[in-house]
């Protein structure tokens, strides 16, 4: 009888502890589904570059300076989506100046769930080669969500656990409530901090009656950080339109476009993104351009961010009807904030293009400013 009581007590204890763990399990960052996402990011970076060109006799070894501006904007709701992306770069070397300009914008109207119709406009130009304008429309499936609020909520929980301010994880429901507070459009950061603290106190998991000063400062620091937006989602688009080449000579052609994109947040401090863009001439599909991209970024302790990216491109009679070219580009960098929104990045790049005698290497020091 005594042994039976011990077994029964063990079973009850296991069931209760399992229930507690289930309630306090941390949700996946990508499980967050905000009713609306609004994101805008504008950054400017200047750099000094050591360059070792593709020739074995090092005749292109030089020191160069450049200025880069990047903008990303996203608006997404249940029925409408809009994205804007822009990139501009000006470079100066001992042999002269050059500039690149690229931009794209899309409008999406959702017919049901993840099915949408899309219109897109793209611009791609370089002072060294061409200037192209693309206009296309089509259909697609999928959507992206800004999951930054839940990522920050989980980081707040983990930081308070490390400080000893929390006795245990606050649970999925509380984390999602905090994410909703952080994702609201309108409240100030001070108002968000007050509401977040109130929600944490309601969990009754604080080690003391109130949140300590260090815990409060930690929440404020996480909310003030500008370490990039966390996206989750995927989409596939099929579009048909026209491409106008404005420089060096004018030409007009029908174009088909296939675009596939994917983004994931494995944990609150990481971001994975990939994309595949294929374009071809409607009158001659053998003339095509294919671009693939895979990137990874991760927040590190003490305010550092590590990133890596690989890009691959095929130009099969797209730019020049007589040539087929391949290119590979691999980059890695470390970034830290030195003062407010001012950051410092050390980056290494390796590139190889068809016809190069050796790999092109760049070691770059960027000074960055986040304006939005």
d(C-alpha 203, C-alpha 230), whole Å: 26
Q: For residue 59, what pLDDT band results from cuts at 50, 70 and 90?
A: low
Q: Which CATH number fits domain 39-143+230-370: 2.40.160.40, 2.40.10.10, 2.30.110.10, 2.30.40.10?
A: 2.40.160.40
Using a pLDDT cut of 90, give the percent of the chain over it.
46
- 208 neighbors 168 (Cβ within 8 angstroms): no
Q: What's the pLDDT at 25?
A: 65
Most confident of 39-53, 155-169, 214-228, 337-351: 155-169
pLDDT at residue 16 above 90?
Answer: no
Instruction: From 283, 250, 248, 261, select the one nearest 104 (Cα to Cα).
Output: 261
Spatial distance between the Cα atoms of 240 and 283, rounded to a whole number of angstroms = 12
Match 């691959």 to its residue by tokens: 312
* Predicted local distance difference test score (pLDDT) of residue 18: 37
CB atoms within 10 A of CB 45: 21
CA distances in angstroms from 132 to 100, 257, 320, 354, listed in the order given: 12, 15, 13, 22
Asked if 54 and 356 count as a contact pair (C-beta separation under 8 A), the reply is yes
Burial 194-228 (b: 16+ CB within 10 A, else e): ebbbebbeebebbeeeebeeebbebbeebeeeebb
CB atoms near residue 96 (< 10 Å) = 8
User: Under 8 Å CB-to-CB from 246, ≥6 apart: which residues?
Assistant: 130, 131, 132, 133
**Would the pTM count as exceeding 0.85?**
no
β strands within 2-95, DSSP E: 37-52, 62-76, 80-93
Report how far residue 182's alpha carbon sits from residue 178's, in angstroms, rounded to the nearest whole number.
6
**pLDDT tens-digit readout, 60-78:** 677 778 888 888 888 888 8
Q: Tell me the domain boundaries of the chain.
A: 2-31+148-224, 39-143+230-370
pLDDT tens digits, one per residue of 173-220: 999 999 999 988 778 888 999 999 999 999 999 988 888 899 999 999
């Amino acid at each position: 009888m005594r042994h039976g009581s011990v077994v029964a007590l063990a079973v009850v204890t296991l069931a209760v502890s399992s229930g507690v763990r289930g309630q306090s399990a941390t949700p996946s960052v990508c499980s967050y589904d905000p009713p609306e996402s609004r994101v805008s990011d504008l950054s400017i970076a200047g750099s000094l570059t050591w360059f070792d060109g593709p020739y074995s006799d090092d005749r292109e070894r030089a020191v160069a300076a450049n200025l880069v501006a990047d903008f990303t904007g996203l608006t997404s709701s249940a029925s409408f989506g809009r994205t804007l992306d822009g990139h501009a770069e000006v470079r100066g070397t001992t042999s002269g100046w050059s500039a690149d300009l690229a931009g794209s914008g899309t409008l999406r109207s959702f017919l049901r769930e993840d099915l949408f119709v899309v219109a897109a406009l793209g611009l791609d130009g370089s002072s060294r080669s061409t200037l192209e304008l693309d206009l296309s429309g089509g259909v697609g499936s999928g959507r992206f969500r800004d999951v930054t609020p839940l990522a920050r909520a989980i980081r707040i929980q983990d930081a308070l656990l490390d400080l000893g301010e929390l006795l245990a994880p606050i649970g999925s429901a509380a984390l999602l409530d905090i994410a909703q507070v952080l994702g609201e459009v309108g409240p100030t950061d001070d108002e968000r901090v007050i509401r977040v603290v109130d929600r944490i106190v309601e969990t009754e998991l604080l080690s003391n009656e109130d949140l300590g000063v260090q815990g409060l400062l930690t929440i404020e620091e996480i909310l003030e950080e500008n370490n990039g937006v966390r996206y989750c989602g995927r989409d596939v688009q099929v579009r048909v339109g026209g491409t106008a080449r404005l420089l060096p000579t004018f030409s007009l052609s029908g174009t088909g476009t296939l675009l596939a994109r994917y983004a994931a947040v494995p944990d609150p401090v990481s971001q994975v993104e990939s994309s595949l863009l294929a374009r071809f001439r409607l009158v001659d599909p053998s003339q095509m351009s294919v671009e693939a991209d895979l990137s990874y970024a991760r927040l590190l302790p003490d305010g550092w961010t590590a990133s890596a990216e690989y890009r691959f491109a095929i130009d099969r009679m797209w730019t020049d009807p007589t040539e087929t070219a391949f290119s590979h580009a691999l980059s890695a960098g470390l970034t830290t904030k030195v003062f407010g929104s001012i950051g410092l990045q050390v980056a290494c790049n390796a590139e190889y293009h068809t016809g190069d005698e050796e790999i092109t290497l760049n070691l770059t020091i960027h000074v960055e400013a986040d304006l939005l």
